[in-house]
Structure 1
Amino acid sequence: MLGLTSAHKTWMHRLPVGPKLALLALFSVVLFWLDNLWPMLVALVLVAALVASGGAGFARQALRLLQPVWFFVALLAVWHLWLNDPLNGLRIALRLVVAVTAANLVTLTSRLSDMIDLIERLLGRKVALTLGLALRFVPVLGERAAMLSLAWRARSQKRAAWRLVPGLTVGAFDEADHMAEALRARGGLV
């Protein structure tokens, strides 16, 4: 299981996770209250400057994490062009990119263990453990999907698409079963 903390150390890594998460929450609320494009563009420049302040390697890693978002931005653009409402589509897309980039910034500069400790203090051990396991399994399932896709391409010329779902599902249940056994062996979630 992997963490998402960046190996490119920045000044933001030294900040405690609690204030970073609180600022992210406040920033997100303000961002979604905004209706004018200019303040949203200022928010985009602010987040881009924070990402850039981490150096070139850090910025490249942050941009890579945005790759899945571009599909949704394109989908929003097409949908709002079809609705003949491109300005609203731009607003929504801008909010999405800024919010995800800000969240990625916090994730990249905070250790998962620190986040789990904070959640444990605020919400309790069971919730913290559940959230931590869910966050750690995302990259594991991504790697498993990539391996299944490679195996499929080695055996067939057809696109895998939905055909990977059963294998990925069984693998996820298998991982969950192993994790449950390990938790039971350590005394469970008392």
Structure 2
Amino acid sequence: MLSLYRPGRGWLHRMPAGPKLVFLALIAVALAALPSSWAIVPVVVGLPVVLYACAGMGVLVGATELGRQVWALRWVVVVTAAGQLIFLGPEPAVSNTARVVAALVVVGLLPLTTRVSAMLDAIESGLGPLRRVGVDPARAALLLTVTVTTVPVLARLAAEVRDAQRARGVRPSLSRGALPFLIVALRHADDLGDALAARGIR
């Protein structure tokens, strides 16, 4: 499985995976629950900036990763803001879009500061009590971990396709990048499937 983990020695890296997952989830829920007003925009913009800067990856790396996360969500921003701007007006459109993006990039800190193995162990441990009702914690943990990491991985693969096109002197575009991206995405899916099969999961 392609890992998004970025080594570091900060407090967020040192925090155990289980409490970290709960901590980031609570922050994301709190951001999403804020009222739709101009006053909350500086808060929802500033909090992810502070978290990424202080996460322990280094200020420069943190800023770069935050930029990548936001850039990967650019179409979410466009669609969310445009629809609400038409039907609700500027204040709800800006504040709601900022809340959604902030919540998503905060959750994006989990795979950046947590090894996949630690994430799997934490989720499997947390889902342990559900074994009594027939849920396989190992499979459920794997599903949740793959879900958390898939979107950022695909965003990174898309960025690599664009970088490869620029290196060849080709101007990146949707029409030129769709086929290469589809190929690398399918290759990643095949590799993931092989990794799961090797672990006896089908």
Task: State the TM-score, normalized to the length of structure 2.
Answer: 0.67
Distance in 2, matches of 1:162 and 1:51, equals 33
**Is contact 2:21-2:110 (8 Å) kept?**
yes
Q: How does 1:1-190 map to 2 (within 5 A)?
A: 1-37=1-37, 38-39=39-40, 41-54=42-55, 55-57=58-60, 58-83=62-87, 85-123=89-127, 124-133=137-146, 135=149, 139=153, 143=157, 146-147=160-161, 161=174, 176=189, 180=193, 183-184=196-197, 186=198, 188-189=200-201
Distance in 1, matches of 2:96 and 2:176, equals 33
Between the aligned residues of both structures, percent identity stands at 28
Q: Name the larger-Rg structure.
A: 1
**Please, which moves more after superposition, 5-14 or 15-24?**
5-14
Q: What displacement does 1:165 show?
A: 5.9
Distance in 2, matches of 1:12 and 1:140, equals 24
Secondary structure (helix, strand or coil) at the match of 2:3 reads: coil
Over residues 81-140 of structure 1, what are the superposed CA-to-partner deviations in whole Å (9 max), with x where a residue is unaligned?
A: 433611110121110221122112233222221111112223311122334445369637
Aligned letter for 2:200?
G
Aligned letter for 1:15?
M
**Is contact 1:119-1:128 (8 Å) kept?**
yes
Unaligned runs of 5+ in 2: 128-136
Q: What displacement does 1:173 show?
A: 5.6
Distance in 2, matches of 1:187 and 1:50, equals 35
Unaligned runs of 5+ in 1: none
Q: What displacement does 1:79 show?
A: 3.5
Q: What displacement does 1:74 show?
A: 3.4
Aligned letter for 2:108?
N
